[in-house]
Amino acid sequence: MSTFPTPSTAAVNLKRKKVTTQTLRAMKHASQVISVLTAYDYPTALAMDQAGIDVILVGDSLGMVVLGYANTLPVTMEDMLHHCKAVSRGAQYAMLIGDMPFMSYQVSTDEAVRNAGRFLQEAGMDAVKLEGGSERLNAIRAIILAGIPVMGHLGLTPQSVHMLGGFRPQGRDAHAAMHLYEDAHLLQEAGCFSLVLESVPARLARYISEHLDIPTIGIGAGGGCDGQVLVTHDLLGLFERFTPKFVKKYASLYQEMSEAFTAYKTEVEGHIFPAQEHTIEMPDSEWESFLDKVDHA
């Protein structure tokens, strides 16, 4: 197994620079679309970095697609840091953003700053993301004051699933749309370098994106945002419990994985695996000598 880049990717990498908050702002102003994906482990981060993905988000979607919880609420700081560390070992160029889990920034600004700091100090992240609008301004300002870039997250904010009455689209009437628009401006004024817009009407997301200086990253928010993000397990067809309408599946890995496991079981049970080419041998002379030693032991 080799993790060394091939000559062609090595040549591409020579020209690559680490993506920063400035890069993202420049991309918005050059109308260059920003690609974002979630990752939770080393090999996925490595493959994304090689593919040139601009931003890797270690999302608290971890709780649902990797840890098997019904929602993101049980995810802890320790869960997040563990997976952020693995991702940071795999990615060299992409900007790395750690998602602050439920209750890591809601209790007090002091706790919010301390927890945000752990993502950078212990887990190799470049920035943090947290959910919410006007109610989160104090935490956001305090974290930024500590020198930590913050990405906002509006619309469907999964940590508020019980307040929202389920995983449902947001901002669909004029009043809710206005609230979202105002929150987006408040987050920009508070210093967020970017903003996720999740599950909001496409024309609202486009309008907000056109009226903000900071880049918006859409998920289920149409093509008018400055960038796009998907949960990688949805894109790969690895998460079978449900697939939101806005997901495009680029692979069916759960299906492939199941087929591989079934084939393995069949071959093990049928003595087909391991075959000759999968076995290790020792020289005949050493084997004879071993048998001799056993006989005389």
Q: Which residues bind ligand KIV (CB under 6 A)?
A: 38, 57, 59-61, 99, 196, 198, 219, 229, 231
- Residues forming the active site: 198
Nearest in space to 192 (alpha carbons), one of 208, 173, 172? 208
Asked whether the bond before 215 is cis by omega within 30 degrees of 0, the reply is no
The tokens describing 161, both together, are 């699933």
- 220 Ramachandran zone, left/alpha/beta (phi>0; psi -120 to 50): left
Residue 57 or 77 having the CB closest to ligand KIV = 57
Shortest Cβ distance from residue 65 to ligand KIV (Å)? 8
At 214, give phi and psi (nearest 5°). -85, 150
| Residue labelled with tokens 């997301």 | 205
- Report the nearest approach of ligand KIV to the CB of residue 62 (Å): 7
Closer to ligand KIV by Cβ: residue 5 or 224: 224
**CA nearest 203: which of 182, 232, 174, 230?**
174
Question: Between the CA of residue 107 and those of 75, 136, 180, what are the distances in Å?
Answer: 16, 11, 23
Q: For ligand KIV, give the closer residue by CB, 5 or 47.
A: 47
Bridge partners of residue 36, in order along the sequence: 55, 229
Return the half-sphere exposure (C-beta side, CA atoms, 13 A cut-off) of residue 231.
Answer: 24
Do residues 150 and 130 make contact, with C-beta atoms less than 8 angstroms apart? yes
Q: How far is the CB of 117 from ligand KIV (least distance, A)?
A: 20
Residue with Cβ nearer ligand KIV (61 or 170): 61
Nearer to ligand KIV by C-beta: 50 or 61?
61
Q: Which CB atom, from 21 or from 232, has the smaller least distance to ligand KIV? A: 232
Least Å distance between CB 102 and ligand KIV? 11
Residues 6+ apart with CB under 8 A from 59: 38, 40, 99, 129, 231
Min CB(141)–ligand KIV separation in Å: 21
Chain residue at closest Cβ approach to ligand KIV: 59
Residues 6+ apart with CB under 8 A from 220: 156, 169, 198, 199, 200, 244, 245, 246
